[in-house]
Chains A and B, each alone.
Chain A
Amino acid sequence: AQSVAQPEDQVNVAEGNPLTVKCTYSVSGNPYLFWYVQYPNRGLQFLLKYITGDNLVKGSYGFEAEFNKSQTSFHLKKPSALVSDSALYFCAVRDGTNDYKLSFGAGTTVTVRA
């Protein structure tokens, strides 16, 4: 069975500081990894994905994520956080066969203080 763990329920950072949201995964075969963001009263929006290739993936709004196969991790990062980055972030994984079967983590609430 595939699964995702987001070990931190909440992450608090000051504006301008680096932001990291952690994610580890378990899946059979090669992982397809995703990050989504949910702003209050909105649906989830796609940030970035890793399928193959460079371990550092760049996405929307200045976010990037690093795939680490040995540690089975896919941490989301932003070098300089903005107050507008405050939201709920979800990591998700699927295998390479069943593209409908996306497993989500529980989510991490990010609060960026001015």
Chain B
Amino acid sequence: DADVTQTPRNRITKTGKRIMLECSQTKGHDRMYWYRQDPGLGLRLIYYSFDVKDINKGEISDGYSVSRQAQAKFSLSLESAIPNQTALYFCATSHAGELFFGEGSRLTVL
């Protein structure tokens, strides 16, 4: 089983719909992250959390929100999805400066 698990792996939705991407980890790390990957742009940080009570915006947080339900769970929400949020989303944890990624959630907004 993967140490960092993302669900769903693939999702197609329509403009205006609310979407939640979920992430859970078994690594016991306090720090968790949500990144977005777009072709030619690399990965950009959406939100990060140092522990359950510490959540911070990354470089592209507009249009997104997060919830850290427990040390092991960090979910990303799109309250009203728009087509330019079509992307591959990665959850990650970190320890000693090294990132550990989930396998990604591919979101398509029509």
Question: Could you list which residues of chain A lie within 8 angstroms of chain B, going by C-beta atoms?
Answer: 4, 9, 32, 34, 36, 41-46, 49, 51, 90, 94, 99-102, 104-107
Q: What is the distance, in angstroms, from B91's C-beta to the closest C-beta of chain A?
A: 9
* Distance of A104 Cα from B92 Cα, bound (Å): 14
Give the contacts of B31-90 with A (CB-CB under 8 A). 31, 33, 40-45, 48, 50, 56, 90
Q: How many residues of B are in contact with the other chain, CB < 8 A?
A: 23
A101: contacting residue among B45, B50, B92, B102, CB under 8 A = B45
B110 CB–A CB distance under 8 Å: no
B94 CB–A CB distance under 8 Å: yes
Contact B33 A105, beta carbon cutoff 8 Å: no
Question: Could you list which residues of chain B lie within 8 angstroms of chain A, going by C-beta atoms?
Answer: 4, 31, 33, 40-45, 48, 50, 56, 90, 92, 94, 97-104
Contact A104 B94, beta carbon cutoff 8 Å: no
Q: Chain B interface secondary structure, helix, strand, loop or mixed?
A: strand
Q: What is the distance, in angstroms, from B4's C-beta to the closest C-beta of chain A?
A: 7
Neighbouring A residues of B90 by C-beta, 8 Å: 43-44
B98: contacting residue among A46, A90, A101, CB under 8 A = A46
**Contacts A100-B33, A104-B43, A106-B41 given; does A43 touch B4 at CB 8 Å:** yes
Contact B33 A90, beta carbon cutoff 8 Å: no
Given contacts A49-B97, A90-B43, A106-B41, 6 further A-B contacts (CB under 8 A): A4-B42, A34-B99, A43-B101, A51-B97, A94-B97, A100-B45
**Contacts A99-B94, A100-B31 given; does A45 touch B42 at CB 8 Å:** no
* Distance of A4 Cα from B44 Cα, bound (Å): 12
B99: contacting residue among A41, A51, A102, CB under 8 A = A102
